[in-house]
């Protein structure tokens, strides 16, 4: 039976409607008197059962799973006489690429979504690439999409330069039979995969970190705050090279991808559905902060599919030469929904960090008169001859501790009672006293004068 109608993008065209009707008749003939059958639309994925009329409506509105070419769930027997000579060697890879496209389709064309023409065009291109043979006469599993993914994987794994990658493609194009569809450059390869929705958006930034040339500032060529030029090269040939670039990896499509993939969608609810609460701390959900957040936002906590994210950032110099001005500051968001075994096995790489944390725990580090946040407005520090001394630390001891009465410290007994708790209300009150601070560095590297009421705060975080 012809299944080509499943690939038609116009689901209200006559060939597609006829194909849906033929599927319904096929299911009725093979499943007997069953009133409900598994629905193969991209939302139900043969998981939910529906009545025949509902299945037909779903297929017309949402479309059919493109990889469901053998209707096993609807009475069709698998074909054994067309097996590849490789005895299924590439079956796993072939299924993997089919699943990739299928997950993309399900995530971007959910029932009730407003479909953008651009999204449909991207999906059609990916679908074509996943079914387009690399050259005439090759195996069905050797498609353009699988070729591009595997070649880019080899490039990254072996640290090929873009130039060497393009050379390899050039050689392959020369020796493959006429009619091949091998891309001509790494740019074309990346352009194909960019349609999966996991690219990034480059955003120019002021060299003094004042603003992003984004949204209302996108058309400017000078910083509205410090008037510095947006570009370090801006010649008459049209070549414009910005001083700084923010590469923004869009968050929404990456969060959607966690629920689009059948391999991660269940794990995103692990923290609620399968976690064992036995008092052992092995996941962020076991900490008091998570539970406190749930108490403050019970409506958010009730929906287990809501995503909990933890941000982390630090700068590094990618070339190992600290004299160069080139550096990177990645900001990483970690989804805390996932179970521990989904996180990368990086224990061995954490040894230097754990060693430093132990050192800080045992020896501690302080800096400045106000380095104790709970009492930055009434510090227990005192200036000595050549250093800062924390001579008031006995105020944190229990009331009956014998050191409180000992005069060997500073000649006095200690009667003050202090707590290391830092109330949020106190922090917010101190931040409210701060002056409005403009983002960015002073072009002359002049430090901003500080007021006494600012204590040890420099500015309010954008967070």
Over residues 172-217, the pLDDT tens digits come to: 999 998 889 899 999 988 888 776 666 788 999 998 888 899 989 9
Average pLDDT over residues 148-159: 87
Average pLDDT over residues 149-158: 88
In a domain, 283, yes or no: yes
Among the candidates 130, 159, 194, a domain finishes at 194
CB-CB contact of 349 with 322 (8 Å): no
Among the candidates 194, 228, 255, a domain finishes at 194
444 has pLDDT over 60:
yes
126 versus 2: the higher-pLDDT residue is: 2
Average pLDDT over residues 249-255: 81
Domain count for the chain: 3
In a domain, 297, yes or no: yes
110 has pLDDT over 50:
no
Segments of 106-209 assigned E as strands = 201-205
82 has pLDDT over 50:
no
Written as one string, the DSSP assignment of 240-307 is EEESEEEEE--HHHHHHHHHHSTTTTTGGGHHHHT---SS---SGGGSHHHHHHHHH-HHHHH-TTSP
97 has pLDDT over 70:
no
In a domain, 430, yes or no: no
Among the candidates 24, 48, 74, a domain finishes at 74
Assess whether 145 and 63 both reside in one domain: no
User: Could you identify the residue written with the tokens 């009465």?
Assistant: 405
227 has pLDDT over 80:
yes
Return the closest-CA partner of residue 146 out of 197, 94, 111. Answer: 94
Assess whether 126 and 160 both reside in one domain: yes
In a domain, 237, yes or no: no
The confidence score (pLDDT) of residue 450 equals: 73
CB-CB contact of 395 with 413 (8 Å): no
Assess whether 122 and 54 both reside in one domain: no
Q: Name the residue range of residue 292's domain.
A: 268-343
Assess whether 139 and 170 both reside in one domain: yes
In a domain, 443, yes or no: no
CB-CB contact of 334 with 310 (8 Å): yes
170 has pLDDT over 90:
yes
pLDDT in tens, 353-387: 777 778 767 766 656 777 777 878 878 787 888 78
Q: What is d(CA 335, CA 347) in angstroms, rounded to the nearest whole number? A: 18
Assess whether 60 and 122 both reside in one domain: no
Q: How many Cβ atoms sit within 10 Å of the Cβ of residue 134?
A: 22
Local structure of 38: helix, strand or coil: strand
In a domain, 373, yes or no: no
Cα-flanking dihedrals φ and ψ of residue 248, to 5°?
-95, 110
In a domain, 286, yes or no: yes
Assess whether 169 and 140 both reside in one domain: yes
Assess whether 115 and 183 both reside in one domain: yes
The confidence score (pLDDT) of residue 115 equals: 43
Local structure of 425: helix, strand or coil: helix
Assess whether 68 and 121 both reside in one domain: no
Average pLDDT, the chain: 79
Strand partners, 309: 335
Assess whether 95 and 185 both reside in one domain: yes
Assess whether 110 and 34 both reside in one domain: no
Assess whether 189 and 102 both reside in one domain: yes
Assess whether 34 and 98 both reside in one domain: no
CB-CB contact of 196 with 104 (8 Å): yes
Lowest-confidence segment of 148-162, 293-307, 330-344, 390-404 by average pLDDT: 330-344
88 has pLDDT over 50:
no
* Sign of the CA dihedral running 215, 221, 222, 228: positive
In a domain, 320, yes or no: yes
Return the closest-CA partner of residue 369 out of 377, 381, 384. Answer: 381
């Amino acid at each position: 039976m012809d299944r080509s109608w499943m690939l038609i993008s116009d689901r209200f065209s006559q060939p597609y409607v006829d194909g849906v009707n033929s599927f319904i008749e096929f299911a009725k003939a093979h499943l007997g008197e069953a009133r409900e059958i598994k629905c193969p639309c991209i939302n139900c994925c043969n998981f939910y059962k529906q009545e025949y009329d509902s299945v037909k409506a779903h297929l017309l509105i949402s479309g059919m799973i493109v990889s469901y070419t053998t209707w096993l769930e609807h009475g069709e027997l698998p074909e054994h006489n067309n097996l590849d000579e490789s005895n299924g060697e590439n079956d796993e890879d072939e299924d993997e690429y089919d699943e990739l496209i299928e997950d993309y389709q399900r995530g971007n064309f959910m029932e009730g979504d407003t479909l953008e023409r651009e999204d449909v065009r991207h999906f059609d291109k990916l679908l074509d690439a996943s079914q387009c043979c690399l050259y005439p006469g090759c195996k069905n599993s050797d498609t353009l999409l699988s070729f591009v993914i595997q070649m880019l994987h080899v490039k990254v794994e072996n640290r090929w330069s873009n130039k060497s990658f393009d050379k390899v493609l050039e050689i392959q194009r020369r020796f493959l039979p006429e009619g091949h569809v091998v891309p001509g450059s790494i740019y074309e390869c990346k352009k194909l995969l960019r349609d999966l929705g996991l690219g990034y958006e480059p955003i120019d930034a002021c060299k003094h970190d004042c603003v992003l040339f984004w949204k209302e500032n996108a058309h400017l060529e000078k910083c509205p705050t410090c008037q510095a030029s947006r570009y370090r090269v801006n010649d008459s040939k049209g070549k414009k090279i910005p001083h700084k670039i923010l590469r923004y990896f869009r968050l929404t499509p990456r969060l959607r991808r966690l629920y689009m993939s059948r391999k991660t969608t269940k794990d995103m609810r692990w923290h609620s559905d399968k976690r064992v609460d036995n008092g052992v701390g092995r996941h962020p959900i076991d900490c008091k902060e998570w539970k406190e957040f749930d108490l403050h936002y019970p409506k958010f906590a009730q929906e287990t599919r809501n995503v909990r994210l933890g941000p982390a950032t630090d700068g590094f110099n990618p070339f190992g030469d600290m004299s160069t001005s080139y550096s990177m500051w990645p900001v990483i968001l970690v989804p805390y929904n996932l179970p521990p075994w989904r996180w990368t096995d990086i224990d061995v790489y954490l040894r230097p960090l754990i060693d430093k944390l132990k050192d800080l725990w045992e020896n501690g580090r302080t800096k400045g008169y106000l380095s104790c946040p709970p009492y930055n407005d009434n510090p227990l520090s005192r200036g000595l001859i050549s250093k800062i001394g924390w001579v008031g630390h006995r105020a944190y001891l229990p009331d009956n501790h014998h050191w409180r009465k000992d005069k060997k410290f500073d000649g006095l007994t200690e009667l003050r009672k202090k707590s290391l708790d830092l109330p949020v209300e106190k922090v917010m009150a101190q931040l409210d006293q701060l002056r409005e601070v403009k983002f960015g560095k002073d072009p002359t590297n002049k430090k901003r004068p500080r007021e006494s009421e600012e204590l040890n705060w420099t500015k309010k975080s954008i967070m």
